[in-house]
Amino acid sequence: MDRVGRACALFPLAVIVLFALMDFAAGPRGVVLGLVVIGPLLAASITGCGLTTAYGVLAFVVAVLLGFYDGQYSPENWPIQAVRLFGVAIGAVIARAACETRVQREARLRQLGADAAAADARASEAERAASFAEALQRDLLASPPRVAGADLAVRYLPAGEYVRIGGDWYDAFPSVGGGTMLVVGDVAGHDGRATLTMTEVRNVLRGIAQVLPSSPAAVLRALDRALHGLGRRTLATVVLAELTTQQDGSGGVFRWSNARHPPPLLICDDGVVRWLEHEPDLLLGVDPAVSRADHRSTLGPGDTVVVFTDGLVEHRGRSIDEGMHVVRSAAMAAADRSVEGLCDALLDCLDDDRTDDVALLVVRIRSTSVHVGAGRSMR
């Protein structure tokens, strides 16, 4: 106990001594002995329960002794003295009860303070982890490489202000066959673990695609088997595509496989907008032995393909079909924009209170015709 604590502990004693002295000074006829109860009541507010009890006993003993000095045990004064002593005793009990209440309240406040400090520490640690995961995700989702004969734009938006990371990703890299592999995927989850899992899936997919010169469906089958063999219990939807463009600028081929992902959207240069819909295969992480299919679409100059995660079409209060209709309408309205402008127009469809992150990839076959407006060709 420090000096201030010792002084506080002795202060109720000083009060009891003060009123005892006042009783002596007042003489036998000046009875102020009942005021000693102020001592334990004061102790209840500044000391512990043990000292408060001790001061209550001391106050009662002092009041009994002062009663002899004041001549309060005569037959005519005894009833009044008994009331005084009873008041001192009741005051001591009240002081003890009040002290217990105060001590319990202070203990709760200390516990609340400790819990708040621990929560702040956890929040700070979570913030650091989230910042690390966000930096990692931003680094992974850097600008993709240039695609020969095509324009490429990408976007990533987290779910909201407080959930800045997730499992959505896009990727683009050269394929073994001379084209460009395009990837848009979504690993289940919206936290740092989802980001780390996404990183692993992305890197394994890249590695397989570099050593397995095969179709997108074969690469996804190999990826599913690899994740199963590594013991990674994760679910993911993916569109994996290989874009091959003609050197003479006459168009290209978009070949893809869909693992339970929203279908790509094709925006033709002549204004036709349609979904590249086929029955999607099973998502990754369920059955590594499941068969997967390739699909193929021939693209002409100026044709655009949009691939995105479901965060673009899933919104509260409306169905996915309604969300896909909104996206298709926005794509039609912004079809004459550049790929960057088209990305911005599609993201304008999002609600402010969205609960899912969004990865978006837009690729357009470069046209050799004379361009007008914001990026569409005139034939």
What's the pLDDT at 142? 63
Whether the CB-CB separation of 251 and 303 falls below 8 Å is answered with: yes
What's the pLDDT at 376? 47
Condensed to tens digits (0 to 9), the pLDDT of residues 302-326 reads 999 999 999 999 887 788 999 999 9
What's the pLDDT at 9? 80
What's the pLDDT at 374? 40
Contacting residues for 113 by C-beta, under 8 A, at least 6 apart: none
| Tokens 């059955």 sit on residue | 287
The mean pLDDT of 173-201, rounded to a whole number, is: 87
- The CATH class that applies to domain 144-377 reads alpha beta
The mean pLDDT of 81-100, rounded to a whole number, is: 90
The mean pLDDT of 101-128, rounded to a whole number, is: 86
Q: Decide if pLDDT at 371 tops 60.
A: no
Confidence of residue 372 (pLDDT cuts 50, 70, 90): very low
The mean pLDDT of 71-96, rounded to a whole number, is: 88
| Tokens 């407006």 sit on residue | 373
The mean pLDDT of 257-280, rounded to a whole number, is: 95
| pTM listed for this prediction | 0.65
What's the pLDDT at 1? 54
What's the pLDDT at 125? 72
Condensed to tens digits (0 to 9), the pLDDT of residues 328-370 reads 999 999 999 999 999 999 999 887 767 788 999 999 999 865 4
Confidence of residue 16 (pLDDT cuts 50, 70, 90): confident
Q: Decide if pLDDT at 220 tops 90.
A: yes
What's the pLDDT at 378? 34
Residue 237 phi/psi, 5-degree rounding, is -105, 145
The mean pLDDT of 248-253, rounded to a whole number, is: 88
Q: Crossing angle of helices 78-140/49-69, nearest 10°?
A: 170
